[in-house]
Structure 1
């Protein structure tokens, strides 16, 4: 085990360092474009079943946020079946408006944007004590996990990259049920139990243990045989455990190399809980695809990561640190204790993440929701943290959560953007999230949620417009009678 140590004092880790103010076009589209994961780990092309290919939906007069880097612009969007058919200008709009089979949504200037994505998802976490998950009966636990998946979709999230499951097949069962069209939820990639050494687990009840390279290979082969898409390693500690420092690394180079080799041979991407300096370096050196947290990265590690930035993404799960500091006291973890163990890591992590963004390293939001003070349904907190704490613009934060997560799931050619030919996974927002990114945390402002061309959520007002004077041959009891003169309604006196 590498000894715990504080990150070295280099310029970008200085408390005085702050990113330069920026208000230009989103920079991270180019960073995301450049990512090239190993094609051998591309997951199967999962499809959500059940969308009628003849279904037609027309969004009129919306502010379109493509998440391609273009500024928001006004236009219409037409969807047929599970795909977007036209964006901006719908050539046959007049014909579609005469078709009674076309479902029309009057945007009235609301924002239409892609569904959001989470890069570090725990469907099976229950909002409380993780240790209890190990003994929770599988039937009840499966229902809880399905509820969490629906909660993601209710929150406007249509993509989730699995980061560990409390039971080894929980993510798999939920993924398969979503794609079969049997339960509501986001497009997802499934993980199994996180793997740790006996002196390095974060919670034994939900851990698959392995202590040697060969044992690790065997655990990976077992999970691959079950049908997971991703493999999760626990390479470093976690301050809240109090006996596992976030600055301690529990894996060796030989073990990390064996895990990456075995996962990639099986066609599975690999992610790692890697807060410690040495764990981050091992991830980069040996090709771990997704680096979770990365808090204590040093200058050497930053240089390694920058040089290999086309092969890795970082998902810091920054809300865990922020919420532990600010919200955990209500659940019995005192603010004083949180300041003692978490405040230093938060400050160091934020400086490193700002530097990653400056150097063009892809950083994605999402993660570690499902604990008591990071409850399900609050996922969009991460987007605000990216803007307010990490030097991202609001547009960049949203792009990271849409196009960025689509790239992580290796489906960026058909997900994560409002673009002709892409899956119709989108949300209609009552407001402009570029001007007010906090609006994405308000479920009441997510007026329409669509996945795979199907409406998951839409209120009655989207289907029943307010009465108009003279409609229904003047039979409506509320609005005044009108006379039609020269094709225009005129109120009768």
Structure 2
């Protein structure tokens, strides 16, 4: 397939006249190069957590799958071999495409064999804006939810992400100080199911700039911000969230207003980066986006009202920042919240239609300029419920000028780069972690297939089967030389211990 021509818009991207057709593109995915260009400073590398619970002797063989490897290549047919222990590494993909010792592997009854029958094997998905502790209902009640119930809710959300094919999630704020941290540690210990996770703590706001009081940490002035940032890092947060601009649904904090001062933003960056921790920011307003780029806030959420100056600033430093717009929040709040007491007429009145239109124009232009835009839709509200995360990929394709292939790459390789672990996550290739999903369909022809949980036939995390129907373990009589038809009883697995030392 020859590369398509990138069309320059005939009018300024800021103009409402800028059309989707101006950004139409058909060709090889452009954003592999965009993602590879990201170079977060190595001193900001988060801890490289391992997930326990996969037996070192486990082995899995996928036969005849369509391999969508997220490297930019078109899918190709082949086999994939996964081994629990391979040299000094564990839970890794050993062979992709051709498996040299396939005949002998098929004779080994301790190896799980899955017949692909041409289904798509791809990396597990990733979300760049995750709230495990959001309750799918009334955020105003989150601060008062008893801790014990809130821990259970947060763990359930983590499992829901994995059930939805998500194996990487980047925490964007926690409703209580340590909910994210505790659930992350439980996932890594193998105690609860969930994706690989980088945890956050409460979002930090000025006393005149909070969005939801009960789930906010407060600071005023550079010294207080330094103190709160340090406290969150001491709690175990992998990144720190700043709430810099407003949100129209509050009706008192406009999305076009920035509440931080330059001195406060600089203090947060100086403190966090000084301790090797990155920052992310709720930054819808023009001035908050500029402030993020000026001071080096690594992950910019929303960026709805970016202007030409901010766009140029961001483009000049596109190797140091990613944008996660949370697009589904805007769409659902505008068009799908009426059943929950927020009708479209009200959403338009407070400004969501205006913001959505501005955000789409800006995000299309970011993608054209090579700025990395990642999916993550602010899920966990009543009208953006848990389990619907893959809607973001459809929005990227239908609204932002992404091809389906680019949307897949953003949600796999792109989120792995956000983790600063793209060398071992986010692609189906030899040496990478065995985090993958087998999809009954072709996401490049129908991106919405990733929203259908029934089509996510097999889900692996860390080389361990999280989801697979019993029928997946039964080999057709003529499919191979293998004699074993049912699940081997002695397949090596780690059994959950009933007692642990704490």
TM-score range, shorter chain: over 0.9
CA distance in 1, matches of 2:115, 2:103: 14
State the partner residue of 1:478.
none
2:17 is the alignment partner of 1:11: no
What is the CA distance between 1:132 and its match in structure 2? 1.0
CA distance in 2, matches of 1:241, 1:63: 47
What is the CA distance between 1:186 and its match in structure 2? 0.2
2:112 is the alignment partner of 1:103: yes
2:381 aligned residue (371, 388, 392): 371
State the partner residue of 1:300.
309
State the partner residue of 1:482.
none
What is the CA distance between 1:257 and its match in structure 2? 0.6
State the partner residue of 2:79.
76
3-state SS, counterpart of residue 395 of structure 2 = helix
2:43 is the alignment partner of 1:40: yes
The number of residue pairs the alignment matches comes to 462
3-state SS, counterpart of residue 141 of structure 2 = helix
Runs of 4+ that moved beyond 4 A: 465-469
CA distance in 2, matches of 1:61, 1:381: 28
State the partner residue of 2:174.
165
The question of whether the paired residues in 1 share the 8 Å contact of 2:334 and 2:344 is answered with: yes
3-state SS, counterpart of residue 65 of structure 2 = strand
State the partner residue of 1:271.
280
The question of whether the paired residues in 1 share the 8 Å contact of 2:181 and 2:236 is answered with: yes
| 1:42-441 equivalent positions in 2, closer than 5 A | 42-81=45-84, 82-340=91-349, 341-441=351-451
What is the CA distance between 1:467 and its match in structure 2? 7.0
CA distance in 2, matches of 1:438, 1:455: 24
Distance 1:418 1:468, change over 3 A: closer
3-state SS, counterpart of residue 201 of structure 1 = coil
The more displaced of 424-433 and 263-272 is: 263-272
- Residues 169-198 of structure 1: CA deviation (Å, up to 9, x unaligned): 000000000000000000000100000001
Q: Which runs of 5+ in 1 are unaligned?
A: 1-9, 474-493
1:447 aligned residue (446, 451, 457): 457
CA distance in 2, matches of 1:461, 1:50: 24
The question of whether the paired residues in 1 share the 8 Å contact of 2:425 and 2:433 is answered with: yes
What is the CA distance between 1:464 and its match in structure 2? 2.6
CA distance in 1, matches of 2:294, 2:168: 28
The question of whether the paired residues in 1 share the 8 Å contact of 2:180 and 2:200 is answered with: yes
Which protein shows a greater Rg?
1
3-state SS, counterpart of residue 12 of structure 1 = coil
What is the CA distance between 1:339 and its match in structure 2? 2.1
CA distance in 2, matches of 1:50, 1:460: 21
Instruction: Give the structure-1-normalised TM-score.
Output: 0.92
What is the CA distance between 1:16 and its match in structure 2? 1.9
Instruction: Give the structure-2-normalised TM-score.
Output: 0.91
CA distance in 2, matches of 1:49, 1:132: 34
Distance 1:65 1:369, change over 3 A: same
Distance 1:42 1:468, change over 3 A: closer
What is the CA distance between 1:150 and its match in structure 2? 0.1
- Residues 15-44 of structure 1: CA deviation (Å, up to 9, x unaligned): 221333211100000000010112122111
The question of whether the paired residues in 1 share the 8 Å contact of 2:121 and 2:436 is answered with: yes
What is the CA distance between 1:466 and its match in structure 2? 6.1
What is the CA distance between 1:468 and its match in structure 2? 7.4
What is the CA distance between 1:407 and its match in structure 2? 0.3
State the partner residue of 2:491.
none
